[in-house]
Structure 1
């Protein structure tokens, strides 16, 4: 089977790839992603999505990237609606701001599948299914990992923690932070979360945030980061200040850099999440919706705990 991938410019001022079989496909599915270039998770997700679409004779896929720009993503949604695609997958740049565009697609009779990070709850009526991780559970599991380590160390009644969250307004960031903040006092009621600052999913910014924490607080026992990319930024700051050995680092979405730091004994734990599983699940959810299958609204895939103790059970992440 021959496949084609053609880069063109859209009226949304972003490039897209048209991926599909040479013969007519059953469905045309459009996807507008958050920001492919911002980290290796999103880059790997896009590659996996394109590969899955190329391997499926039923699908032509229009693959778009919003570049982190809400206005661009809304314009891309408008383009996909005008193209009358059969379904739209959206990885929201902002869970609140995209709701009018999602509603417009719904009103046009185009089913919308949200991937990876859900939109705000008031937009749920316009979405057929969410495909991705349970980010609240991820945050809660990270709190459990940290609390268990504090108990092992005997500091569960005195430990102080700082948090580096993701991009403000981004649903994943909100949910992971909320899951952590709600669960930590349940499992370790005497641990204190002293401050939270955003790292915007960026390693360099997170390193700067951690540098400021280290100046402000003489006693930091744990750092929770909304993903390992930010967590390694925090680790780098602590290493530069010669304080890394005194701090337990826990993240989410186990990046390769986090896995490697765990192997060196510098980073304690995270949540294992595959961008390949994420991408393939989103495409399959869209196909299942179009095939008329009964799909749950919250279509989660599992994201287990990973620490230095059990990391040998997991393959090194590919991102």
Structure 2
């Protein structure tokens, strides 16, 4: 486990060197293209890929880019992986369009293509004539809705006051679905809670902290913050506590990564809708093996989510806690 934790802390330069030194794919291997292993979410998914490959008895080759905003670099890596002729490519696209040329080429070569973590837009894929083998991930609209449900459970259905939504990277379907699911469910359950700002935080902790500072200045009575991932939620936590309002604002993220778990246990972050990335990675490899061998696999595989709170973790009875890494 210590080696795995170390891998999550690789800097961009070290990660690039590691990937550049990786051997070429042998025939029959799977190509795994992540966003960035510097993010604990993708690190946990990488752990799931590793364990899934072991249980499925397959070889794989994993690469990632320096950040989850490096769309052009990710396309270049995808094209390089394509040249190695894997039997399947499991890809977590940075946005809905950046990998389309590579995925179309993979399809033309008969390579099985998997949408990892549901980052591709089905309408765009259809327009481009790309038929992926399957998409696997959480229901992101539902994840946002779960965040709203938990916020209302803490504040009350009759609560009033301003709420901030920190979105993901502009144009990214994952963050858009999470923000939309939250907003729609919040309006349904607690119409007195008003979303006073819904702004892109670009998956960046520092930017989210700055957004939170700005909104707190304008709305000192802020009662809730929903962030489309844990990194941004933790940036919001920093600003809220620095302003002396740590007891007044319910802050909810999405992912359930290791940093969020630590913050929840410390009584800072209120909750995270855990996406169980470890389980996503593990099931992706196991299911693509079935597809490669000619078996039937659902076109849409939904992995469950879990609202992770201190009470849930202290209780220790929730079966899904096994997959929180």
Q: Check if 1:236 corresponds to 2:235.
A: no
Q: Check if 1:70 corresponds to 2:74.
A: no
The correspondence of residues 130-169 of structure 1 with structure 2, limited to 5 A, is 130-151=135-156, 155-156=158-159, 158-169=160-171
**How high is the TM-score relative to the length of structure 1?**
0.84
Q: Which residue of 2 aligns with 1:28?
A: 29
The correspondence of residues 282-293 of structure 1 with structure 2, limited to 5 A, is 282-293=284-295
Q: Which residue of 2 aligns with 1:218?
A: 220
Deviation at 1:176, TM superposition (A): 0.8
Deviation at 1:14, TM superposition (A): 5.8
Deviation at 1:79, TM superposition (A): 2.5
CA distance in 1, matches of 2:90, 2:223: 40
Residues 317/290 of structure 1: CA separation in 2 closer, same or farther (3 Å cut): closer
The correspondence of residues 1-319 of structure 1 with structure 2, limited to 5 A, is 15=20, 17-18=22-23, 27-37=28-38, 39-54=39-54, 56-57=56-57, 59-67=58-66, 68=68, 69-121=70-122, 122-123=124-125, 125-151=130-156, 155-156=158-159, 158-312=160-314, 313=316, 315=321
Asked whether the 8 Å contact 1:254–1:317 carries over to 2, the reply is no
Asked whether the 8 Å contact 1:19–1:63 carries over to 2, the reply is no
Aligned length: 298
CA distance in 1, matches of 2:241, 2:266: 13
Residues 273/204 of structure 1: CA separation in 2 closer, same or farther (3 Å cut): same
Asked whether the 8 Å contact 1:132–1:281 carries over to 2, the reply is no
Residue range with higher mean Cα deviation, 78-87 or 290-299: 78-87
CA distance in 2, matches of 1:51, 1:19: 21
Asked whether the 8 Å contact 1:259–1:316 carries over to 2, the reply is no
CA distance in 2, matches of 1:307, 1:71: 37
Secondary structure of residue in 2 paired with 1:310: helix
Structure (1/2) with the larger strand percentage: 1
Gapped runs of 5+ residues in structure 2? 1-17
Gapped runs of 5+ residues in structure 1? 1-12
Structure (1/2) with the larger helix percentage: 2
Residues 70/261 of structure 1: CA separation in 2 closer, same or farther (3 Å cut): closer
CA distance in 1, matches of 2:71, 2:149: 34
Deviation at 1:211, TM superposition (A): 1.2
Asked whether the 8 Å contact 1:141–1:271 carries over to 2, the reply is yes
User: Pairwise CA RMSD of aligned residues?
Assistant: 2.5
